[in-house]
Amino acid sequence: MRGFGRQCRGQGTVFVTLVRRTEKPLLDLGGSLATWAQEAQDLLHQTSHLDEARRGRLLRDLTAASEAHRHITKQSQRLTQGKALSQYKIVKAYDPTIAPIIKGKSNCPAQFGRKTGIVSEPATGFIFANRVPEGNPSDPSSVLPLLDKVQQALDCMASPKRLHVHSLGGDLGVNDPELRHALHTRGMLTIGMPTTVEPINPTPSQQEVRDILTMSGLQRIRTPHQVHLACASGYSRPVVESPIATLMSRGAAHVRYKGLQGAVVQMGMTVMAHNGAVLVRIQQQRLSKRGQKFRRLLGLKRYKSNKINDS
Amino acid sequence: MGIVRSLQHWLGGHGPHLQPAAFVPETHPIRLWADTFPWDAMVQAVAQSFAQRFPKKRPTGGRPSVSLRVLLALELLKHELNASDEDICQRLRTDGAVMYACGLPEVHADHAQAHFVFPETLAQFRGRIDQDLMDTLVAIQAAAAMDAGLVSPAHLLVDTFPAEQGSQRVTDATTLYKAQKNSSTSWNASASSVRFQARA
């Protein structure tokens, strides 16, 4: 995961202190909110002079109020820089979906924001799906929702030829046994996810390929050729940093729109703009040698971009 | 101002007749970029989503609404060119390539007309896009690229990256920090001016 390096030093230290100071009154204020909300809900159920629509609206408001306080309390119990906070942690009083992002930091204060997940093709950097979650969930928890979005794209295809995801690569952050098992169940190879800091072998032997297929239980589903491609894809995993850099050059490093919905719209539009530029590069064959070779191995066509709008 | 109201004189003005498709070179980067999008499917998805979530009927008569195709293209162009709402709306008025990307077949603009689309209209359009619609749009684009045989989902890579929240909308902590800093700065300035006056 990328970090902002030294840019956030100094000010960030001050901000964390100030945030802790500002959230304490909010938590004090909402301490008895759960009790009040429960009492109000009981009273609301007992009243008979309210119509159904109004009762539903009031119930929704009460639930939202109690949920907001629960969320604030949950955030305040998280960690910063590996140490438990003595007090609380809220970034924005009017937007509780923002969380401090601390992973991948070395001797830097935490920054506040959102953690966007992307699923991209290693050859060209085309992004199939993106996701902007609430708060700062773990990396493995965002993989399956991202794959569901890829499946949504596959379902949107007009072509009768059914495409499938053969393998998924990632960094050490997504190395999770449960996630591997879930991906194997979906018929995906996980050789591209490293278990150590050692690089993945890009050219496995026949015996290693057999071992990979046996361990994942995909002997009859995936072929040795696909294993070789998955290893090559996982070996060149750092190329995923390239689309991230181009997204950031399009302004993805700063969320300028308001709230979670704004972040979703901004990231989605940025991803689509990036994908358009990638398709232009494919059309003009402006790809790296590695990218061109990978595309040849996958059997992809060289030039058909103009037909997107003609069909 | 409702989302459907804006300036629409460009289609029936008295200015010179301009056909962006004939005017913009075929090798122009924005033209090439715009040609990669499956506009019809995307606009249809936006219209369907808006019709479901905002079923309010407009009164008959009045000015026709700004095309969803134009607004969607402007929002995408904004992120491609890293421009602000104001910048991209001004470029729509003067830049033939932006007109082409917005799918305008022909334009009759009066020279006195400053805008084709107000930035406020673009902001309102953006406010109506929700997560499901955004996912659908990305999926439609990816599906079109896969249908054309340009990309394959066979081998994928997943990663995350952080995005700082808001350079324009600052956090509460930032506001408090700046307020304290300003107050201390003004206090120092006033103290130094008092010292200067006393010395004089």
Q: Does A144 touch chain B (CB under 8 A)?
A: no
Q: CA B196 to CA A192: how far, in whole Å?
A: 69
Q: What's the rounded mean pLDDT across residues B164-191?
A: 64
- Integer-rounded Cα Rg, in Å, for chain B is 24
B154, A167: Cβ pair inside 8 Å?
Answer: yes
Tokens of residue A69, six digits: 């306080």
Q: CA A78 to CA B36: how far, in whole Å?
A: 44
Instruction: Spell out the residues 6+ positions from residue B73 whose beta carbon is closer than 8 angstroms to its own.
Output: B34, B39, B101, B102, B103
Q: How sure is the predictor about A85, in pLDDT bands with cuts at 50, 70 and 90? A: very low
**Burial call A270-301: b when 16+ CB within 10 Å, e when fewer:** bbbbbbbbbbbbbbeeebeeebbebbeeeebe
The reply to whether the predicted model has a pTM over 0.80 is no
Of B130, B168, B173, nearest to A19 by CB-CB distance is: B173
Q: CA A297 to CA B152: how far, in whole Å?
A: 11
Quote ipTM for the complex: 0.80
A29-38, A151-160, B137-146, B181-190: range with lowest mean pLDDT:
B181-190
Q: Does A122 touch chain B (CB under 8 A)?
A: yes
pLDDT at site B110: 74
Residues of chain A contacting B149 with CB distance shorter than 8 Å: 300-301, 304
What is the percentage of chain B residues whose pLDDT exceeds 90? Answer: 45
Of A3, A113, A280, nearest to B33 by CB-CB distance is: A280
Q: CA B7 to CA B3: how far, in whole Å?
A: 11
Tokens of residue A184, six digits: 């194997």
B155, A169: Cβ pair inside 8 Å?
Answer: yes
Q: CA A118 to CA A125: how far, in whole Å?
A: 10
Residue A170 DSSP SS3: coil
Of B36, B130, B169, nearest to A258 by CB-CB distance is: B169
Q: Quick: pLDDT tens for B91-124.
A: 998 899 999 999 988 887 777 777 788 898 999 9
What is the percentage of chain A residues whose pLDDT exceeds 90? Answer: 23
Q: What's the rounded mean pLDDT across residues A86-114?
A: 58
- Residue of A19, A309, A310, A311 to mutate when probing chain B, most B C-beta within 10 A: A309
Q: Does A259 touch chain B (CB under 8 A)?
A: no
A251, B151: Cβ pair inside 8 Å?
Answer: no
Q: Does A308 touch chain B (CB under 8 A)?
A: yes
Q: Quick: pLDDT tens for B122-162.
A: 999 999 999 999 999 999 999 999 999 899 999 999 988 88
pLDDT at site A187: 92
Q: How sure is the predictor about A12, in pLDDT bands with cuts at 50, 70 and 90? A: very low
A100-109, A113-122, A276-285, B82-91: range with lowest mean pLDDT:
A100-109
CB atoms within 10 A of CB A61: 12
Checking if the pLDDT of B187 tops 80, the result is no
Checking if the pLDDT of A84 tops 60, the result is no
Q: How sure is the predictor about A11, in pLDDT bands with cuts at 50, 70 and 90? A: very low
Q: How far is CA B27 from CA A14, B33, B55, B95, in A?
A: 50, 10, 41, 15
B116 neighbors B109 (Cβ within 8 angstroms): yes
Residue A283 DSSP SS3: helix
CB atoms within 10 A of CB A80: 15
Nearest Cα residue in chain B from A1: B161
pLDDT at site A287: 85
Checking if the pLDDT of A96 tops 90, the result is no
**Burial call A211-228: b when 16+ CB within 10 Å, e when fewer:** ebbeebebeeebeeebbb
Residues of chain A contacting B125 with CB distance shorter than 8 Å: none
pLDDT at site A149: 95
Q: How sure is the predictor about B1, in pLDDT bands with cuts at 50, 70 and 90? A: very low
Q: Does A194 touch chain B (CB under 8 A)?
A: no
Nearest Cα residue in chain B from A8: B164
Q: Does B33 touch chain A (CB under 8 A)?
A: yes
Q: CA B102 to CA A106: how far, in whole Å?
A: 45
- Quick one: residue B155, left, alpha or beta (phi over 0 = left, psi -120 to 50 = alpha)? beta
Q: Quick: pLDDT tens for A63-77.
A: 877 777 777 676 666
A83-92, A172-181, B169-178: range with lowest mean pLDDT:
A83-92
Tokens of residue B86, six digits: 């104001």
pLDDT at site B102: 94
User: How many beta-carbon pairs below 8 A join chains A and B?
Assistant: 300
Checking if the pLDDT of A280 tops 90, the result is yes
pLDDT at site A311: 45
A158 neighbors B143 (Cβ within 8 angstroms): yes
pLDDT at site A10: 46
Residues of chain A contacting B38 with CB distance shorter than 8 Å: 308-309
Checking if the pLDDT of B177 tops 50, the result is yes
Q: Quick: pLDDT tens for A18-29.
A: 666 777 777 787
Q: What's the rounded mean pLDDT across residues A31-46?
A: 84
- Residue of B161, B172, B174, B181 to mutate when probing chain A, most A C-beta within 10 A: B161
Q: CA A125 to CA A139: how far, in whole Å?
A: 20
Sequence ranges of the domains in chain A = 5-113, 117-310
Nearest Cα residue in chain A from B34: A276
**Cα torsion through A274, A279, A284, A289, rounded to 10:** 80
Q: How far is CA A102 from CA A4, A8, A67, A110, B186, in A?
A: 11, 12, 25, 5, 35
Angle in degrees, CA B158, B160, B163, rounded to 5: 150
